[in-house]
Structure 1
């Protein structure tokens, strides 16, 4: 099995990808090897990698809140009712956050950025275009992650796996030091993961590091070892997307096919 992790930015710059081949590590069976790592990646490369791997984890929302479309349509058509339904802060939260965002907060205490009211909106627009390009070649991918594309959230994966993911993003010296410590902690907890000479690159880029975490989470999603939407979340997950939170330890990822 090969998994692809994508740390998606609004443009090619700072977009990172990581491919992990499972059962291909230098330590023998039950291991994994980082076979491809790249930064400043364009849409075409992402689509090509999707086609050559088994499961993709993308660190970006794959959909928008269900409430947002009727709200915008009502505003466009000067129909008051669907707009007034979201009067007040509680109503606006339904426009800003998806069902899966609220689920992640309940499970982890983390608050994902809003896809409709924060800087994440621009990458999400690019993600929608990439999904359309994938659909043209490989068929539409369900937004709930039941196909070959799953939405992931590296910060949540790190927390679930007991890795301190605070303060490692950025270009300053403190951030670089925290990233180095985080990478060392990952190596300690996942000795079965062969970084294949990419350690220095990972230590120098939080984008590349996040792509690796996305690829690891894609493995959990492929093996159905993530928290899946139950009947109360299933409908929203199909339209808005679903963030896949690992439901397994790191050392369980290499097991199985």
Structure 2
């Protein structure tokens, strides 16, 4: 099977993609690229069994009535979200709160932070995928799943912070995390891409997204329970691995939805 990981940015030049081919007890990084456009993401999605995208796939459910009330000059739908607690409902999704409770990490707000522009692009990409391959469930029940590399790294016992940026300290941190990853996953063949991964946190996050996509495909991530299922359908759901890296090499032969 093939898994695609996408580190999505508002700008194409900062968007990275990584494709991993999984065999019997092995995994090989088949494709790694930076400066990836929408058409290429749709093409790679079509050639992959599962895609993990590092970007929110939806917005808080509370945001729609709030904006609709404001647009229609209706005060009550807006006043329902008065105060700091109300604004938190507008800024963070159910899955964001779940991830914070489980990992201690606070995802950026899709509606009130730097993720807004990438999320708009992500919505367009989802529509482009839907035109060609059909709509994909936002809770990860199809072939597209939202992922959060920092949460994935933390769940695997690897450092999750301090590697983003172009400074010397960040570069050193990224190289150390990559070393830790390859030591923990000796079955992962980087196929000559180590230097690229060590030099780009975007490419590295795409690799982590692709690895997380594998965890989604084999059912090894934290899924929404009854209390979160409804919101996950509309807002999206961040898939965090429920087990270790060593679980990813388990076979998928005979499971529905996988390609030969």
TM-score above 0.5: yes
Secondary structure of the corresponding residue to residue 81 of structure 1: helix
TM-score normalised by L of structure 2: 0.96
Spell out, residue by residue over 1:159-201, the C-alpha distance to the aligned partner (whole angstroms, 9 max, x if none): 0000012210000100000001010000100000000000000
Q: 2:10 matched to 1:5?
A: no
Residues of 1 paired with 2:111 and 2:62: CA distance?
A: 11
| 2:101 is the counterpart of 1:106 | yes
- 1 CA distance for matches of 2:41 and 2:243? 27
For residues 237-252 of structure 1, the aligned pairs below 5 Å read 237-252=232-247
Q: SS of the counterpart of 2:30?
A: strand
1:126 alignment counterpart: 121
Quote the offset at 1:204 in angstroms.
Answer: 0.3
Matched, 1:196 2:191: yes
Separation in 2, partners of 1:123, 1:165:
21
5 Å-filtered alignment, 1:83-162, equals 83-162=78-157
Instruction: State the partner residue of 1:20.
Output: 20
* Structure 1 residue ranges without an equivalent (≥5): 24-28
RMSD over aligned Cα atoms: 0.5
Q: How many residues align?
A: 252
For normalisation by structure 1, the TM-score amounts to 0.97
Instruction: Note the alpha carbon deviations across 1:39-97, whole angstroms, 9 max, x for none.
Output: 01000000000000000000000000000011000000001111000000000000000
Instruction: Name the CA distance, whole Å, in 2 between partners of 1:79 and 1:108.
Output: 38
Give the whole-Å Cα distance in 1 for the aligned partners of 2:59 and 2:203: 26
CA distance in 2, matches of 1:147, 1:95: 26
Q: 2:166 maps to what in 1?
A: 171
Residue in structure 1 matching 2:32, options 31, 37, 55 = 37
